[in-house]
Amino acid sequence: MVFELKTYVLFVATAVAEIVGCYLPYLWLKKEGSVWLLAPAAASLALFAWLLTLHPTAAGRVYAAYGGVYVSVAIFWLWTVDGVRPSVWDWVGVLVCLSGMAIIMFAPRAA
C-alpha cells in the first residue's frame, strides 16, 4: 500500500510539473503573458523529465501508466485553474484512466 501511494504521489508531482511547464508558455502565447514565463516553464519541464526517472520500473511502463495520472491531474487543473467544472463524464474518464494506471503499475508480474 505504501509503495502504491508513493508511486501515485510521484506521478501527480510529475504531472503537475509537466502541466505547469506547458501552461506557462500557453499564458505567454495566448493570454499575452510575459516572455519571462518561459524560464520557469523550462525549469518545470526539466523537473518533469527528472521526476520520470525516479520510478523504479521500465520506462515504457512508467510512460503508459503516467498517462492515466496525467489525465486525472489535467481534469483537476481544468476545475481549479481554468474554473471549468468537470462533467460526470470527465470523472468517469478519470476513473477509467486511473484504473488503467493501477493495472499497468501494480499488477503482479513474473520475476
Local confidence pLDDT in tens for the 111 residues of the chain: 787 888 889 999 999 999 999 999 999 999 999 999 999 999 999 999 999 889 878 888 888 889 999 999 999 999 999 999 999 999 999 999 999 999 998 888 876
Is 66 a member of any domain? Answer: yes
pLDDT at 105: 87
Query: Is residue 17 within 8 Å of residue 52, measured between CB atoms?
Result: no
The total number of structural domains in the chain stands at: 1
Is 48 a member of any domain? Answer: yes
- Residue 85 sits in which domain range? 2-106
CA–CA separation, 22 and 101 (whole Å)? 22
pLDDT at 89: 98
Is 111 a member of any domain? Answer: no
pLDDT at 56: 78
Is 54 a member of any domain? Answer: yes
pTM for this model (two decimals):
0.87
Is 7 a member of any domain? Answer: yes
For residue 111, the surrounding DSSP H or E stretch is none
